[in-house]
Amino acid sequence: MKTIINPKTSEWPEILKRPTQTVNDIETTVNQIFDDVKRNGDTAISKYTTLFDGVDLEANIVSKKEIEEASTSVPEELKQAIQRAKANIEAFHGAQKTPMVQVETQKGVNCWQEKRPIEKIGLYIPGGTAPLFSTVLMLAVPATIAGCKELILCSPPNAKGSLAKEILYAAQLCGVTKIIKVGGIQAIAGLTFGTETIPAVYKIFGPGNQFVTVAKQLATKFGVAIDMPAGPSELLVVADDSANAAYVASDLLSQAEHGTDSQVLLVSTSKTLLEDVSNEIKIQIEVLPRKSIAIQAIENSKLIYVKNDDIALKLINEYGPEHFIICSKNEKVYVDGIVNAGSVFIGDYTPESAGDYASGTNHTLPTNGFSKAYSGVNLDSFTKSITFQKITKEGLVNIGSTIELMAEAEGLQAHKNAVSIRLKDLI
C-alpha cells in the first residue's frame, strides 16, 4: 500500500480516485449485448454464457431437483448459520416497516400515504471466484417482508454448468420464485427486456463488477429501476494510536480479497499505526487462499496520514466510502460527523464482515462515491409510496378558490374549470 503524508486538499481528488474503468471504456460492449438480447432473446443469452462463462447449458432454469439436491448437500452447521443470519436480517428489516401516514391538511381535505410492494424484482447474485450466497439473504429477505410477488434470481454458472449449492439453498429458504443460470451483462439485459425463459422485471437489485454496474445503469434507459450503482467493493478505516493494528489489517484484507478491483484505505492521525498496519498486512496476506487477488487490490489501496480528526473527517466525507470502520478514541466525532457512507462499523469489535453476513444490516451498498446520494438496500427499496386523497364537499369549498387562482395564474384554464364546475353545484 502506498503511504501518503499530509496530502493537500487540492490533491484529494487524485488520491481518492477509484481503480475503476470509466463508463466510456465499457459502455460500447454493454450496448451491443443489450441490443443482441433484445432482438434474439435466449439465443443471445446462451451465446454469451458460452463466451463469458465457458459453459454450454441444456437449460438455464434451475430445476426443483437441482435445488433439492443442493440443499441436502449443504452441511447442517452451515445451514444453521445461514438460518441464524436470515433471522437477524429479518429482525432488522422487519423493524423498518412504517405505518400509513394520514393528515387532514385542512377541513375536509384528507391526504394519506401507503406503501405497496414492487411486484416483480430481479436479484443479481455474483458468482465467479466467490459465489455470494449471503447476498441472496440480503436481497430476498427484505423483498419477502415487503410482499414482492415475483423474485427472479440470476447468477452465473460455474464451469460445470451449476450454481453454488449454498446459493440454491439460501434462495429456496428465502422464497425466491425462479432461479436462472445467467450472469454478467446478459443477465441484466434479460431481466430488462425479458426472454423466453427470463421474465422482465420492474427493478433490479444486486452488486456486480463494473460491467454489471454499467448494465444496470443502462437498464434504467428502458424503464427498469435499479437499487443503486453498486460496483467493486471498497472499505475505508479511520484509526488512531488506540487502535489494534492486527484488527485493522484484517479488516482491510477482508475487503481486498473481494476482487482485484477492490479498494481499501486507511486514514490515520498516527504514523506509527500506519507502519504497524502495513507490517501486519504483509504477515496476514501470506496465509490467505485468495492472496493473489488481495495483493492486486492492495496495490490500488493507500495509507493516508493526516494531522487531526477534523481533516480526516472532511477527507472521508469527500471519499464517500461504501464501508466505513471507526477505530478511534474520538469515535463520537466520526459517528456524529459522517454524512457520506454506505454502512458504518464502530469500535474494535465490529468487523465489517459482521455486516456482510449476520448482524442484520444490509451489505448491498453504494460504491464509487455514490453514498453521497444513495442509501444502501433497505425495506423501502422494495416498495413504492402511493399517495391518496379524498376531499369532501366542504373540503372542496375550502380549498377550491386556492386551486382556481393558481391554475389561472399558470394559464391552465381546464384545471380551473375542473374545480369551478363543481363549486357551482356546491355554492
pLDDT at 271: 97
- pTM of the predicted protein model: 0.94
| pLDDT at position 22 | 61
| pLDDT band at 95; cut points 50, 70, 90 | very high
Work out the average pLDDT over 156-179: 96
Instruction: Please choose, from the candidates 259, 258, 238, the residue with its C-alpha nearest in 3D space to the C-alpha of residue 248.
Output: 238
Residue 20 has pLDDT above 70, yes or no: no
Which distant-in-sequence residues (6+ apart) come within 8 Å of 174 by Cβ?
Answer: 86, 136, 137, 140, 141, 144, 151
Indicate the pLDDT class of residue 208, thresholds 50, 70 and 90.
confident
For 171, residues 6+ apart whose C-beta sits below 8 A from its C-beta are 67, 136, 140, 153, 179
Are 2-20+232-360 and 23-231 the same fold in CATH? yes
Between CA 219 and CA 228, with CA 225 as vertex, the angle to 5 degrees is 90
pLDDT in tens, 326-378: 999 999 999 999 999 999 999 999 999 999 999 999 999 999 999 999 999 99
Beta-bridged to residue 263, according to DSSP, are 234
Instruction: Give, for 391, the enclosing helix (H) or strand (E).
Output: strand 383-391
CB atoms inside a 10 Å sphere around CB 218:
21
297 neighbors 289 (Cβ within 8 angstroms): no
CB-count exposure of residue 16 (10 Å: 0-12, 13-18, 19+): buried
Q: Cell triple for residue 28?
A: 460500447
Structure confidence at residue 414 (pLDDT):
98
- Phi then psi for residue 110, to 5 deg, are -105, 125
> What average pLDDT does this structure show over 118-126?
97
* Cell output for 154: 440470476
pLDDT tens per residue across span 97-112: 999 999 999 999 999 9
Q: What is the pLDDT of residue 21?
A: 56
Band of pLDDT at residue 127, cut at 50, 70 and 90: confident
Is residue 94 very low, low, confident or very high in pLDDT (cuts 50, 70, 90)? very high
- Per CATH, is 392-426 categorized as 1.20.5.1300? yes
Mind spelling out the 3-state secondary structure of 39-82? HHCHHHHHHHHHHHHCCCCCCCECCHHHHHHHHHHCCHHHHHHH
Calpha distance 236→326 (Å, rounded): 9
Give the E-state strand segments of 84-169 in sequence order.
101-106, 109-117, 120-124, 150-155
What mean pLDDT do residues 40-50 have? 97
Domains of the chain, by residue range, sit at 2-20+232-360, 23-231, 392-426
Q: How far, in Å, are 38, 40, 281 from residue 1 at the CA level?
A: 44, 46, 9
| Contact present, 4 and 319 (Cβ < 8 Å) | no
DSSP one-letter string for 346-366: ESTT--HHHHHHTSSS-----
Question: What are the pLDDT digits (tens) for 369-399?
Answer: 999 999 999 999 999 999 999 999 999 999 9
- 129 has pLDDT over 70: no
Q: Looking at the domain covering 23-231, what would its CATH class be? A: alpha beta
Domain at 2-20+232-360, CATH from 1.20.1540.10, 3.40.470.10, 3.30.460.80, 3.40.50.1980: 3.40.50.1980
Q: What is the mean pLDDT of residues 293-308?
A: 94
Compute the mean pLDDT over every residue in the chain, rounded to the nearest whole number: 95
Residues forming the active site: 322-323
Question: By percentage, how much of the chain surpasses pLDDT 90?
Answer: 92
Residue 23: band (very low, low, confident or very high) from pLDDT cuts 50, 70, 90: low
User: 1: pLDDT confidence band, cut at 50, 70 and 90?
Assistant: confident
pLDDT greater at residue 231 or residue 418: 418
